[in-house]
Amino acid sequence: MTSDVYELTISAPGRNALSSVLMERLIAELRAAAGRPLLLIGADGAFSAGLNLKEVATLDLAGMTRFLGLLDDLVDALYGYPGPTVACVNGHAIAGGCMLVLCCDLRVVADDPALRIGLNEVPLGLEFPPKLLALVQRRVSRRSLERVALEGALHDPRSALQLGLVDEVASDAHAAARAALVRLATSPRAEYVATKQALRCGALDLSEEQRRYFREHIVPAWCAPAVKARISAALKPAR
């Protein structure tokens, strides 16, 4: 397998918040990378602060369906990427940002005690869409799963390592992540991809019942006035 690394940078306003536009771009870039060893990193000292809540707060049912559908598509594209992937968690990775970290084969986080990583959907009053919950169940150990998903806390790098949200803490996360990616890329590509696909085949597939629950419950719940009010409150600067 080639060691020609494709570095995919998450870059957007709001500490690289995941908007519809950004998610479309990331999906397109994952397709363009075409299986090359892929390093996922955030721009400007952040990984991703999560979903663009300003956009979420404006969406009606049709808009929310499209937005969450794009998030599902991005997760599918990254989790099922036909080549090695390493996340360089160079800054905060919160909620949707943490989901992207979990999609990657290996995850290296900067040794910065101020950095936070975690899934805070439940404290915001947001129920996990089925595909995202399936990803969390697949990538977080049973020992840590309920604490990570239900408590909704944001963890420092050392705590995240203990919980299994990341695989390595490094003083130079970028160099360590690239080294890990090159190491993975030394394996023959066909065998790496075949084994990865066999391990993950169907892991995030949804039943018709889950799809109906997404359409009839999750999307309307994310559009509910009470949820929009909590999001608006979260967006207000602290006094």
pLDDT in tens, 108-150: 999 999 999 999 999 999 999 999 999 999 999 999 999 999 9
- Strand-pairing partners, residue 89, are 109
Q: What share of the chain is helix, strand, coil (3-state, %, to 5)?
A: 55, 15, 30
- Whether residue 144 contacts residue 84, with contact meaning beta carbons closer than 8 Å, is answered with no
Query: Is beta strand 85-89 parallel, antiparallel or unpaired with respect to 106-110?
Result: parallel
pLDDT at 1: 52
User: From CA 157, how far away is CA 167, in angstroms rounded?
Assistant: 10
Query: Is beta strand 154-155 parallel, antiparallel or unpaired with respect to 117-118?
Result: antiparallel
pLDDT at 2: 47
The model scores a pTM over 0.75: yes
Cα dist. 126→19, 34, 95, 103, 222 in Å?
17, 34, 10, 20, 7
User: From CA 96, how far away is CA 87, in angstroms rounded?
Assistant: 14
Superfamily of domain covering 6-192: 2-enoyl-CoA Hydratase; Chain A, domain 1 (3.90.226.10)
- Walk across the sheet containing 168-170 and list its strands: 6-10, 38-42, 85-89, 106-110, 168-170
Low-confidence ranges of the chain (pLDDT < 70): 1-3, 238-239
User: 25-40: b or e for each residue (b if 16 or more CB lie within 10 Å)?
Assistant: bbbeebeebebbbbbb
Q: Residue 107's closest CA among 196, 170, 191?
A: 170
pLDDT at 28: 99
